[in-house]
Amino acid sequence: MPAPHSAFDAMQARLRAAAELYGLEEALFKVFITPMRSVIVSLPVHMDDGSWEVFTGYRVQHNIARGPSKGGIRFDMGVTLDEIKAGAAWNTWKCALVDVPFGGGKGGVVCDPSRMSQGELERLTRRYTAEIMDMLGSDRDIPGPDMGTSPQVMAWILDTYAMHARRTDNAVVTGKPIGLGGSLGRAEATGRGVLISAREAMQRLGKPLAGATVAIQGFGNVGSQSARLLHEAGARIVAVSDANGAIRNDRGIDVHALMKHTTETKSPVGFKGAEPMDAKELLLMAVDILVPAATDNQITEENAIKVRAKVIVEGSNGPTTPEADPILFSNGVLVVPDILASVGGLTVSYFEWVQNRIGYYWREREVNERLVEYMTHAFQAVFATTDKYKTTPRIGAYILALDRVAQALHSRGFYA
Ligand code: NAD
């Protein structure tokens, strides 16, 4: 078994390939593989049993040439500086691709939120916010939710920031509860982006989305919303999995019933309208569309050769390793890369920030229509770049993104 990839190394490998094809100056490449600011904070927190625990938190700002840094905060035991650096860089590329005026950031705290009380989580969040206070601001760095964090965590960040800044600034975080200025459509936005990407990819193959067969790995926020929206668009969801196992029904899973079952039992496994299957086999099914929506390093040099999907729409970050890319490409699998396919949430976060700043809120239909417009535009620009450089859509996406960030850097010049 090859060693699992460092997320930052995987990002750097794709960036290197794109930079060579594009002809990027070496100095700019160095700028892009060196995040602008990485902060490590130590967070003493009073636990419910009277003890103190010291947590480690990170916030990384990768690049701010195109605007303030934007990126989620992850609460998870697996959080590392390497992973946060990769996430911050991916966000620079995602914001550039979808053409919103942000740079890339990311944050995280090493903790297990499932084992902490609400009070402990609130104290941890507030201490973390206070420690990175100088980095934050609606014109500086704007966090949002990620794995293990929620609209409630965003509300505590907003409040702690407001107490220190002595003023309200709702646009300092996105993914907030609707009553605090959150945007309609945010919760399902990443899934909606997967739907838009799947439709565009099928169109590129000259096939309709309606009737297409789909397998989805992961049934959390991204996986379940992607399943629901693809199902409502007429696609046939034939398999889904989560960390506990996988299920399949070749005639099509009733996704609404599956979501109800998952809410009640916390897992899609055990759903009566499908048969159990080997979770590893799900990635290798002969379907029209495969949606990885779980975790990184899932399609590797080991299993890529056996992938039979026509299209892969990467809803999760980093599901495919750099070694698997050329194997999928030579087997004719059309991959919509993560930095494009998973950008729906970030785009609606941008809409939330805009609505907070103008103080005027859009109807859900308007949010969804604007998301289609932004993502369709990004998809077409990525594939035009891919065709121009005769490369893979992933490297095409990186070229388009680095071109936009490089242009911004050149216009600003380097302050010294
Ligand atoms: P989540 O925690 O809500 O769901 C993750 C799901 O994956 C769960 O169902 C979990 O059981 C499952 N899972 C974990 N390991 C698995 C495995 N080995 N095999 C099969 N299933 C497995 O997380 P989410 O918000 O849905 O995010 C999923 C991925 O998408 C992450 O990579 C995240 O960074 C990325 N992402 C999320 C958003 C967003 O808006 N939520 C935006 C962009 C990217």
Question: Residue with the nearest Cα to atom 23 of ligand 1?
Answer: 220
Adjacent-strand bridge partners of 71 = 143
Amino acid at 369: E
pTM: 0.95
Of 374, 371, 415, the residue nearest 64 (C-alpha)? 415
User: Tokens standing for 373?
Assistant: 């417009």
Range of the domain at 307: 189-341
Q: Which of 70, 106, 176, 310 is catalytic?
A: 106
Task: Tell how far the Cα of 275 is from the centroid of ligand 1, in angstroms.
Answer: 22
Of 81, 92, 147, the residue nearest 316 (C-alpha)? 147
Those residues whose C-beta lies under 8 Å from the C-beta of residue 42, and which sit 6 or more positions away, are: 54, 55, 56, 57
Number of helices and strands in the chain (H, E): 14, 12
Is 67 inside any structural domain? yes
Pocket of ligand 1 (CB under 6 A): 146-147, 190, 217-223, 241-243, 279, 293-295, 315-317, 342, 345
Structurally, the chain folds into a number of domains equal to: 2
Q: pLDDT of 159-178, one tens digit each?
A: 999 999 999 999 999 999 99
User: Tokens standing for 156?
Assistant: 């505590």
Residue ending a domain, among 294, 318, 341, is: 341
Q: What is the pLDDT along the chain (416 residues), one digit of tens a residue?
A: 455 678 999 999 999 999 999 999 999 999 999 999 999 999 999 999 999 999 999 999 999 999 999 999 999 999 999 999 999 999 999 999 999 999 999 999 999 999 999 999 999 999 999 999 999 999 999 999 998 999 999 999 999 999 999 999 999 999 999 999 999 999 999 999 999 999 999 999 999 999 999 999 999 999 999 999 999 999 999 999 999 999 999 999 999 999 999 999 999 999 999 999 999 999 999 999 999 999 999 999 999 999 999 999 999 999 999 999 999 999 999 999 999 999 999 999 999 999 999 999 999 999 999 999 999 999 999 999 999 999 999 999 999 999 999 999 999 998 87
Those residues whose C-beta lies under 8 Å from the C-beta of residue 351, and which sit 6 or more positions away, are: 183, 185, 362, 367, 370, 371
Residue ending a domain, among 341, 361, 388, is: 341
Is 362 inside any structural domain? no
Looking from the CA of residue 244, the nearest atom of ligand 1 is 11
Instruction: At 79, give phi and psi (nearest 5°).
Output: -65, 130
Same domain for 150 and 202, yes or no, is: no
CATH number reported for the structural domain that contains residue 230 in this entry:
3.40.50.720
Task: Tell how far the Cα of 245 is from the centroid of ligand 1, in angstroms.
Answer: 14
Q: Is 390 one of the annotated active-site residues of the chain?
A: no
Q: pLDDT of 19-77, one tens digit each?
A: 999 999 999 999 999 999 999 999 999 999 999 999 999 999 999 999 999 999 999 99
